[in-house]
Structure 1
Amino acid sequence: MTVQDIDRAAFVRDWEQWHREHEEVLAGPHGFLAITSLHWLNAEPTRFEDAPGAWSSTPEGVVVELAEGEELTVDGTVVRGRYAFGVIGERDSLYPGFGDAVIEVAKRCGHDILRPRHPGNALRAGFTRTPAYAPDPRWVRTGRFLPFDHPRAVTVGAAVEGLEHVYDSPGQVEFELDGTVHRLTAFNGGRPGSLTVLFTDTTSGVTTYAANRSLQIGPPDAEGGVILDFNRAANLPCAYTDLATCPLPPAENRLPVAIETGEKIPLERGGHG
């Protein structure tokens, strides 16, 4: 694909729709901006101001003990008293509800956590938009997927100091920019065959969020060809709130070039339009 191949008006419309949908998920009633706290559970049942019940991490998974008059809705069923959620898989989440809120019950970096999500949270209520570079077809790059013989376990840091994430990497993505070839370690994406790349570049901490940005890449074609649309380089939740445990990019994904496109530093972190 070349710049000449792109209908610029349609390109901008598609990007605007992508950006709008990304922000709708982020700022939805129970999106990341609705999170009011992050609790690391242990064996001691503990109560929190923004959630009903006393919560603990046990051999049978996360357990809540609801007092008289307290209840949760789990998969459409009202539960009272003691309730065990079972062992939750790494990076999985459950969302029991109470009132207009939900409580994310999840496992991150081997730890059971609790993240209540309240639609009236000030961070969500005050959200207006995420600044971004104007979309430019120049930043749509063709590349090539280079699969490993076998998936490799890759350990990366996390937005929360002291934590680590481990992801299986199916391979690397190679692309050229201004005559230089770059390779990025890729992880599995949300759709079958798709890829996710976490990266920083020389704009990180200047005009874009310092810790990371994420790029979704569609499944490679039969020859391994991929399209990297850096206009869709997106902030992860940790760009907006300290209540996220987002992964950091592998060392090799810290690009020595300026990717001057995609989402910028959020206004909530001092960014500018």
Structure 2
Amino acid sequence: MTVQDIDRVDRAGFAEEWRRWRDAHERVLADPHGFLAVTSLRWLDAEPTRFPDAPGAWSSTADGVRVELDEGEELTVDGAAVRGTYSFGILAERSSVYAGAGDAVIEVAKRGGHDIVRPRHPDNALLTAHVPAPAYEPDPRWVRTGRFVPYGTPRAVTVGAAVEGLQHVYDAPGQVEFELDGDTHRLTAFNGRDPGSLLVLFTDATSGVTTYAANRTVSVAAPDAEGGVRVDFNRAVNLPCAYTDLATCPLPPAENRLPVAVEAGEKIPHERLGGQ
């Protein structure tokens, strides 16, 4: 977005559109079984182990995650009641499946090659006490038009994680290039949720000062026919690790550490400011 484009923006309309987007983002975050409902992060091994916030004894086997339910214990998987011993099978990396347990949901997942269980309870204090994270006021200056620079073939990129010693591997289809204050920046992009869309993890000069130190993320719609993209840093958001230590969020690749202060998007959540 050029200076002339910024001057032509309906700032009131721009701010209202941003607030509608932010309200929708907060509704997802405050879901009764969303990430703020997670009560523990359990790393499974071959020994069947019981946890206070989930029914059954859980283990990681050669055939995948298994749970052994005692008499009177029950889970709901794909709408059907499960009793006794149940195998969730071998899960793909970064995949999750969910089992109902009364008013709770038990997430069964694989992260960094390890099988995990994360119970989610709607009465978790982190969720019930949550208020939206502070954010910078929306400013059209932080909407940057740029271009997508694809790699010849997608590259496997290994990044660190919020959990010490854990690593994630993501396919990167290319980089997003844009200008800011006269300088050109290129950030490695991963595949986004929607087909063709991109996800950019980054830090900048505000990280650890006004924004969460480890990472923020911004979604980028699929490039147009000429490779053009629109990067709206007003919509930069925190990942779950900004709210809780029970997350395995990826860290940005080294080249995604911007030397400028991106004074846009979400700031440090109240949960971290309060020392939780």
TM-score by length of 1: 0.98
SS of 1:78's partner is strand
- Pairing 1:142–2:132 present: no
> Do the aligned partners of 1:23 and 1:130 also contact (CA within 8 Å) in 2?
no
1:153 pairs with 128, 153, 156, which one? 156
1:256 pairs with 253, 259, 273, which one? 259
Taking the aligned partners of 1:102 and 1:36, their CA distance within structure 2 comes to 11
Taking the aligned partners of 1:129 and 1:199, their CA distance within structure 2 comes to 21
Taking the aligned partners of 1:75 and 1:9, their CA distance within structure 2 comes to 45
SS of 2:122's partner is coil
Taking the aligned partners of 2:217 and 2:93, their CA distance within structure 1 comes to 20
Taking the aligned partners of 1:5 and 1:235, their CA distance within structure 2 comes to 30
Partner of 2:94: 91
What does the per-residue CA deviation read over 1:11-35, in whole Å, with 9 as the maximum and x for residues that have no partner? Answer: 1122112111112111210011100
- Pairing 1:181–2:184 present: yes
Partner of 1:13: 16
Partner of 1:115: 118
Partner of 2:61: 58
Taking the aligned partners of 1:242 and 1:5, their CA distance within structure 2 comes to 43
What does the per-residue CA deviation read over 1:57-88, in whole Å, with 9 as the maximum and x for residues that have no partner? Answer: 11111000000000000011001000001111
Detail structure 1 runs of 4+ shifted over 3 Å in the superposition: none
Taking the aligned partners of 1:244 and 1:125, their CA distance within structure 2 comes to 18
Partner of 2:76: 73
Aligned length: 272
* Offset of residue 9 of structure 1: 2.1
1:33 pairs with 32, 36, 40, which one? 36
Taking the aligned partners of 1:32 and 1:154, their CA distance within structure 2 comes to 25
SS of 2:179's partner is strand
Taking the aligned partners of 1:11 and 1:229, their CA distance within structure 2 comes to 12
> Do the aligned partners of 1:91 and 1:107 also contact (CA within 8 Å) in 2?
yes
Taking the aligned partners of 2:9 and 2:170, their CA distance within structure 1 comes to 34
* Offset of residue 205 of structure 1: 0.3
* Offset of residue 193 of structure 1: 0.4
Partner of 1:228: 231
What does the per-residue CA deviation read over 1:166-195, in whole Å, with 9 as the maximum and x for residues that have no partner? Answer: 000000011000000000000000000000
Taking the aligned partners of 2:163 and 2:30, their CA distance within structure 1 comes to 22
> Do the aligned partners of 1:43 and 1:58 also contact (CA within 8 Å) in 2?
yes
Taking the aligned partners of 1:30 and 1:209, their CA distance within structure 2 comes to 23
Taking the aligned partners of 1:123 and 1:90, their CA distance within structure 2 comes to 27
* Offset of residue 225 of structure 1: 0.5
SS of 1:94's partner is strand
> Do the aligned partners of 1:38 and 1:243 also contact (CA within 8 Å) in 2?
yes
Unaligned runs of 5+ in 1: none
> Do the aligned partners of 1:41 and 1:112 also contact (CA within 8 Å) in 2?
yes
* Within-5 A mapping of 1:119-130: 119-130=122-133
CA RMSD of aligned residues (A): 1.1
Taking the aligned partners of 1:242 and 1:6, their CA distance within structure 2 comes to 40
- How high is the sequence identity, in percent, across the aligned residues? 74
Partner of 2:206: 203
SS of 2:184's partner is strand
Amino acid in the other structure paired with 1:25: V
